[in-house]
Structure 1
Amino acid sequence: MAAACRFLALTTLVFATANTQAQPYDASAWQRDYAQLKQTLERDYANLAWFASPEGGVNLPRLDRLTRQSLRAARNDGEARQAIESFVRAFKDGHLSVLPDLAPSHQAATAVTAKPFEADDAAGACATLGFLPTARMAFSLPLESLPGFHLMGDGLATVYRTGLATRTDGPTIGVIRIQNFTNRAFPASCTQGYAALKAQGAPITEKALRNAADDRWSSALAEQLSALKAAGMTALLVDVGNNNGGDDSGDRFARLLTDLPVRSARLRMVASPAAVAYADQQLQSLDAGLKSNPTIEAANALTHARDFFVTAKSRASMPCDMAWVWSRQQPWGGTGCTRLVDVGYAGGYEPSLPRGAFGDQNIAYRLSLPSSADDLWAMWTGPLYVMTDRRTFSSAEMFAAVVQDNHLGKTVGTLTGGAGCGFMNGEQVQVLTHSRMRVRMPDCMRWRADGRNETAGIAPDLPVAPTEGEDSRQLAQRLLDAVAADQRPAAATN
Structure 2
Amino acid sequence: MFRVRRVLPALLFAAVPLCALAAPDFDRDAWRADYATLKQALERDYANLAWIGSTQSGVDLPALDRQTRRALDSAENDAQAEQAIRDFVAGFHDGHFSFLTTLQTGAAAAEPASVDLTAADAASGCAALGVGAGGHPGFSLPFESLPGFKLLSDGMDQPLRTGLLTTPQGPRIGLLRLPEFAPTAYLGLCRQVWQQLRSEDSADDMRDALMDALADAVATALQGFAAAKADLVLVDVGNDPGGNDSGDVLTRLFTTRPVHSAPLLVSQSPAGTAYLDEQLHRLTGALQEHHPDPAARRLLRQSTAAFQQSRRSAGDAPCDLSWTWSERRDWNAMPCRRLVEAGSSGGPLDYLPADAIADMTIAHRLNWAQDVRAHWGAWTGPVYVLTDAKTYSSAEMFAARMHDNGIARTVGVRTGGDGCGFMVASPPTTLPHSRLRLRMPNCVRLRADGSDEVAGIAPDLPVLPQSGESDRARAWRLLQTVGADWRTRHGGG
TM-score normalised to structure 2 length: 0.91
Which protein shows a greater Rg?
2
Partners of 2:270 and 2:395 lie apart in 1 by 27
Partners of 1:456 and 1:210 lie apart in 2 by 31
Q: 1:133 deviation in Å?
A: 5.2
Which amino acid letter does the alignment assign opposite residue 467 of structure 2?
E
Aligned equivalent of 1:12: none
SS of 1:243's equivalent in the other structure is coil
Q: Give the 3 Å change call, closer, same or farther, for CA 432–67 of structure 1 in structure 2.
A: same
| Contact persistence 1:74–1:80 (CA under 8 A) | yes
Partners of 2:215 and 2:391 lie apart in 1 by 21
Partners of 2:200 and 2:445 lie apart in 1 by 40
1:231 maps onto 2:228 in alignment: yes
SS of 2:399's equivalent in the other structure is helix
Aligned equivalent of 2:465: 466
Q: 1:132 deviation in Å?
A: 1.8
Where does structure 1 lack aligned partners over 5 or more consecutive residues? 1-20
Q: 1:135 deviation in Å?
A: 5.1
Q: Give the 3 Å change call, closer, same or farther, for CA 454–298 of structure 1 in structure 2.
A: same
Which amino acid letter does the alignment assign opposite residue 217 of structure 1?
L
Q: Give the 3 Å change call, closer, same or farther, for CA 440–209 of structure 1 in structure 2.
A: closer
Q: Deviations over 1:374-420 (max 9, x none)?
A: 11111100010000000000000000000111111100000000000
Aligned equivalent of 1:9: none
Aligned equivalent of 1:385: 384
Identity %: 46
Which amino acid letter does the alignment assign opposite residue 288 of structure 1?
G
SS of 2:435's equivalent in the other structure is coil
Partners of 2:173 and 2:452 lie apart in 1 by 31
Which amino acid letter does the alignment assign opposite residue 304 of structure 1?
Q
Partners of 2:68 and 2:138 lie apart in 1 by 41
Aligned equivalent of 2:191: 191
Which amino acid letter does the alignment assign opposite residue 169 of structure 1?
Q
Q: 1:207 deviation in Å?
A: 6.2
Aligned equivalent of 1:456: 455
1:271 maps onto 2:268 in alignment: yes
Q: Mean alpha-carbon deviation: is it higher for 208-217 or for 145-154?
A: 208-217
Aligned equivalent of 2:428: 429
Q: 1:330 deviation in Å?
A: 1.9
Aligned equivalent of 1:438: 437
Aligned equivalent of 1:301: 299
Aligned equivalent of 1:177: 177
| Contact persistence 1:119–1:204 (CA under 8 A) | no
Q: 1:117 deviation in Å?
A: 2.1
Alignment RMSD:
2.1
Which amino acid letter does the alignment assign opposite residue 312 of structure 1?
S
Aligned equivalent of 2:32: 31
Q: 1:450 deviation in Å?
A: 0.3
Partners of 2:291 and 2:246 lie apart in 1 by 28
Partners of 1:166 and 1:107 lie apart in 2 by 61
Partners of 1:131 and 1:440 lie apart in 2 by 25
SS of 1:364's equivalent in the other structure is helix
Q: How does 1:155-170 map to 2 (within 5 A)?
A: 155-170=155-170
Partners of 1:186 and 1:152 lie apart in 2 by 16
SS of 2:158's equivalent in the other structure is coil
1:258 maps onto 2:255 in alignment: yes
| Contact persistence 1:424–1:444 (CA under 8 A) | yes
Partners of 1:434 and 1:289 lie apart in 2 by 46
Aligned equivalent of 1:55: 56
1:246 maps onto 2:247 in alignment: no
Aligned equivalent of 2:16: none
Which amino acid letter does the alignment assign opposite residue 298 of structure 1?
A
Aligned equivalent of 2:215: 218
Aligned equivalent of 2:395: 396
1:67 maps onto 2:65 in alignment: no
| Contact persistence 2:184–2:207 (CA under 8 A) | no
Partners of 2:392 and 2:24 lie apart in 1 by 39
Aligned equivalent of 2:18: none
Partners of 1:123 and 1:60 lie apart in 2 by 49
| Contact persistence 1:30–1:71 (CA under 8 A) | yes
| Contact persistence 2:348–2:366 (CA under 8 A) | yes
SS of 2:331's equivalent in the other structure is coil
SS of 1:280's equivalent in the other structure is helix
Partners of 1:191 and 1:289 lie apart in 2 by 34
SS of 1:174's equivalent in the other structure is strand
Q: Deviations over 1:453-479 (max 9, x none)?
A: 111110001110110011111111111
Q: Mean alpha-carbon deviation: is it higher for 72-81 or for 119-128?
A: 119-128
Where does structure 2 lack aligned partners over 5 or more consecutive residues? 1-21
Q: Give the 3 Å change call, closer, same or farther, for CA 493–457 of structure 1 in structure 2.
A: same
Q: How does 1:126-145 map to 2 (within 5 A)?
A: 126-132=126-132, 134=134, 136=136, 139-145=139-145
TM-score normalised to structure 1 length: 0.90
Q: Deviations over 1:345-383 (max 9, x none)?
A: 111221111121133332222111112211111110001
Partners of 1:83 and 1:160 lie apart in 2 by 43
Q: Deviations over 1:197-221 (max 9, x none)?
A: 78xxx67864664454233212222
SS of 1:238's equivalent in the other structure is strand
| Contact persistence 2:344–2:350 (CA under 8 A) | yes
Q: How does 1:66-85 map to 2 (within 5 A)?
A: 66-85=67-86
Q: 1:265 deviation in Å?
A: 0.5
Q: Give the 3 Å change call, closer, same or farther, for CA 203–333 of structure 1 in structure 2.
A: closer
| Contact persistence 1:33–1:432 (CA under 8 A) | yes
Aligned equivalent of 1:154: 154
Q: Give the 3 Å change call, closer, same or farther, for CA 205–277 of structure 1 in structure 2.
A: closer
| Contact persistence 1:393–1:417 (CA under 8 A) | yes
SS of 1:357's equivalent in the other structure is coil
Which amino acid letter does the alignment assign opposite residue 142 of structure 1?
P
Which amino acid letter does the alignment assign opposite residue 79 of structure 1?
Q
Q: Give the 3 Å change call, closer, same or farther, for CA 108–133 of structure 1 in structure 2.
A: closer
Q: Mean alpha-carbon deviation: is it higher for 307-316 or for 356-365?
A: 356-365
Q: How does 1:343-362 map to 2 (within 5 A)?
A: 343-362=342-361
| Contact persistence 1:189–1:214 (CA under 8 A) | no
Partners of 1:135 and 1:415 lie apart in 2 by 25
| Contact persistence 2:275–2:424 (CA under 8 A) | yes
| Contact persistence 2:389–2:413 (CA under 8 A) | yes
